[in-house]
Amino acid sequence: MKKNLQFSIFSICFFIVFIFCNGIESPQYTVIHTESDFEIRLYRESAWMSAPVRDISFEKATKLGFHRLFQYIQGANLNNSRISMTTPVLTSIVSAGPFQSSAYNVRFYLPVKFQGIPPLPLPELDLRPVASGSHCVAVRKFSGFARDKNIVAEAEKLSVSLTRSPWANSTAKGTYGYSIAQYNSPFRFIRRVNEVWVNLDGSKVEGCQSDVATF
């Protein structure tokens, strides 16, 4: 009961942050190729704050991870800095077999103001700053809510599309199988925007470079 109440309060706060934030920042990118059901984007260098979570459920892991990130942006950092909300909230699924995982990293894109030197999170939040170099991503959009029951199907659709494209052998080898990007508050029920992201090997895609590191 106590956990349910905490999540309800968190969801309301999350909604309020979204409602009252105008001009929400997002990581910058250039679309370098478009297909009917996916596109290839070149993302610029960017800094994120990441919350590692171990859980079977994607939905629960995202809630748990963002709950910690929400505390961080509300001032639970060594500078006591309040940080503006950004989009998307990115949940990266750690590779553990065909489209299945029990480990996740929930990421918050840091606003331009904090890209250079992010405020350090309080130790008890177990958050990690991550620097993402310029890299290419295959992206498939889907509507509705991102749920345990549909994210695997959406990731599989992107995988099939890639196997039928010139980028069939361009998927990057690394920690993450794929990521789910969510752009809307949980209280928005129509015209929702979600995306499946798969990192591509920059050496195999013209105009792309791949580089991910931690501070």
More confident residue, 71 or 189: 71
- Decide if 13 contacts 5 (C-beta within 8 A): no
Would you place residue 100 in the very low, low, confident or very high pLDDT band (cuts 50, 70, 90)? low
Edge-first strand listing for the sheet containing 212-214? 29-34, 39-43, 135-142, 194-199, 176-182, 89-94, 103-109, 46-54, 128-132, 212-214
Tokens 């892991």 — which residue?
Answer: 61
Would you place residue 169 in the very low, low, confident or very high pLDDT band (cuts 50, 70, 90)? confident
Helix (H) / strand (E) element for 8: namely: helix 2-19
Report pLDDT for 181: 98
Full 3-state SS string of 78-113? CCCCCCCCECCEEEEEECCCCCCCCEEEEEEECCHH
- Is the entire prediction scored with pTM above 0.75? yes
Q: Residue 172: what residue type?
A: A
Topology given in CATH for the domain delimited by 29-199: Multidrug-efflux Transporter 1 Regulator Bmrr; Chain A (3.20.80)
